[in-house]
Amino acid sequence: MREYTQFYINGEWVDPSAPNSFDVINPATEGVCGHIALGNEADVDKAVAAAKAAFATFSVTSREDRIALLAAIVEAYKARYNDVADAISEEMGAPTKLAVQAQAGAGLGHIAQALQVLQDFQFEEGIGAHRVFKEPIGVVGMITPWNWPVNQITCKVAPALAVGCTMVLKPSEVAPLSGYVFSEIMHAAGVPAGVFNMVNGDGPGVGTALSKHKDVDMMSFTGSTRAGTLVAQNAAPTVKRVTQELGGKSPNIILDDADLESAVTGGLMHMYTNTGQSCNAPTRMLVPAAKLAEAEAIAAKVSESVVVGDPKAEGTTMGPVVSEVQFNKIQGLIEKGIAEGAKLVTGGTGRPDGLEKGYFIKPTVFSEANNQMTIAREEIFGPVLTMIPYDTEEEAIEIANDTDYGLAGYVQSGSLEHARKVASRIRAGNVHLNGASAGMDVPFGGFKQSGNGREWGAHGFTDYLEIKAISGYES
């Protein structure tokens, strides 16, 4: 049982201003695996004050100092790597292999990437007799989600730290264990007091106080579109910058010249990764109508090969969804798909056979859907694929873009040139051709209601910087 009931403020572990214990649930067992404390406005005030005080000195540190600090964090992270992976597996049900290779690996990758970018990032430029400087924006409030917990923490913390910002982090209260371990890593690395602060809590208690705070200069939020709009509303009166990485309902266009077996298999397994709990998951598979029956057969075969079960068991490829709330939401949307007339190819409601406990979902595929069905419009955030037939390529592009979201898109074709042509017409921040993965040096973010701003790599530095022009700087 983990007891993580203190907050990390001004370089110290401190008790909350008021006792408010919260149970952390292991989604594979439905049992309590830890306790945290939920903070409040007083805790936020204390953390923000520490960050504001630290900004005065940390914002003017040298590039070399911050390079050394990031390098120390990399080493401290490596020393706790398995602890990070174990916490992620326990708090949100990621299978051990996924937790070790992808979840914990992404955290280390973002810190290392920020360290690399910082080596030669241009913080100033000359324009004639004038000079333009890029300066740290100030105190950054960070609210991160439960689905890729350390990935989302590090892709905010690392660039903010690299450019000289100070910060207050609120990890998800649903999966807070890895955030606590990460805070221990920051302390072990010698991050100066007040530069990094962590307060656990929920949206109303901590998220709102952070978003509204007059001394917070920027809010960086990852989560649902609904919650993102609340953060923006709360931040508006103080005119602080708000960046958001929100939901998605990403299309995967399988073109007529694609290798159908490879395209369906790859697209479906990508969607099933992390139990479908990824905002950029390719959840709408667009298939030529003449090949729909064949695609269904491939999808059924692939789904039946997925091993759902205990995240710690060898051979498990899919764990549970994160919580009872998510489990019930997904069950309701599967029922909605059936009620609205989509064809259930495989899966459906209830737990997989042999699993009586835990928030496990059957790998589910719907077909013969249209883009107006609920399962094609709403972000399900579970292992549920919606296959939509199309007659022409133009229709496929139209369906792909007919969504409130625009985080990612996927195009499968036997011709790279053909895939490029279609990709150029997809309204999304990230488009993947023929199964290509995104590198951590590539900007990540979305169009439309999938958010604003970009994370990862050099582009991830930009949102944490203010631009100052000094005219007459050169004689």
Q: In whole angstroms, what is the distance from residue 246 CA to residue 457 CA?
A: 19
pLDDT recorded at residue 193: 98
pLDDT recorded at residue 367: 98
Do the domains spanning 2-246+450-470 and 251-439 agree at the CATH topology level?
A: no
Active site residues: 245, 279
DSSP conformation letters of 124-180: EEEETTEEEEEEE--EEEEE--SSSHHHHHHHHHHHHHHHT-EEEEE--SSS-HHHH
379 closest CA partner among 454, 452, 438, 446: 446
Q: In whole angstroms, what is the distance from residue 56 CA to residue 61 CA?
A: 10
pLDDT(99) > 90:
yes
In this prediction, residues 113-120 reach a mean pLDDT of 98
- pLDDT tens, position by position, 423-467: 999 999 999 999 999 999 999 999 999 999 999 999 999 999 999
| CB-based burial, 427-457: b 16+ in 10 Å, e otherwise | bbbbbbbbeeeeebeebbbbbbbbbbbbbbb
Q: In whole angstroms, what is the distance from residue 228 CA to residue 233 CA?
A: 9
The fold of the 251-439 domain, in CATH, is: Aldehyde Dehydrogenase; Chain A, domain 2 (3.40.309)
Q: In whole angstroms, what is the distance from residue 69 CA to residue 190 CA?
A: 8
pLDDT recorded at residue 475: 78
Q: In whole angstroms, what is the distance from residue 361 CA to residue 460 CA?
A: 34
- pLDDT tens, position by position, 316-342: 999 999 999 999 999 999 999 999 999
Q: Which residues pair with 236 in a beta bridge?
A: none
- pLDDT tens, position by position, 220-263: 999 999 999 999 999 999 999 999 999 999 999 999 999 999 99
DSSP conformation letters of 23-66: EEEETTTTEEEEEEE---HHHHHHHHHHHHHHHHHHTT--HHHH
Q: Which residues pair with 400 in a beta bridge?
A: none
66 closest CA partner among 215, 190, 220, 170: 190
pLDDT recorded at residue 102: 98
pLDDT recorded at residue 327: 98
In this prediction, residues 405-417 reach a mean pLDDT of 98
451 closest CA partner among 252, 274, 281, 229: 229
The fold of the 2-246+450-470 domain, in CATH, is: Aldehyde Dehydrogenase; Chain A, domain 1 (3.40.605)
Q: One-letter amino acid identity for 229?
A: T
Q: Using the structure block, give the residue that is written with the tokens 């100052």.
A: 468
- pLDDT tens, position by position, 31-81: 999 999 999 999 999 999 999 999 999 999 999 999 999 999 999 999 999
Q: In whole angstroms, what is the distance from residue 231 CA to residue 208 CA?
A: 7
* Contact (Cβ atoms closer than 8 angstroms) between residue 204 and residue 212: no
The rounded mean pLDDT for the chain is 98
pLDDT bin (cut points 50, 70, 90) of residue 126 is very high
Domain ranges of the chain: 2-246+450-470, 251-439
Share of the chain above pLDDT 90, in %: 100
Does this model's pTM top 0.85? My answer is yes
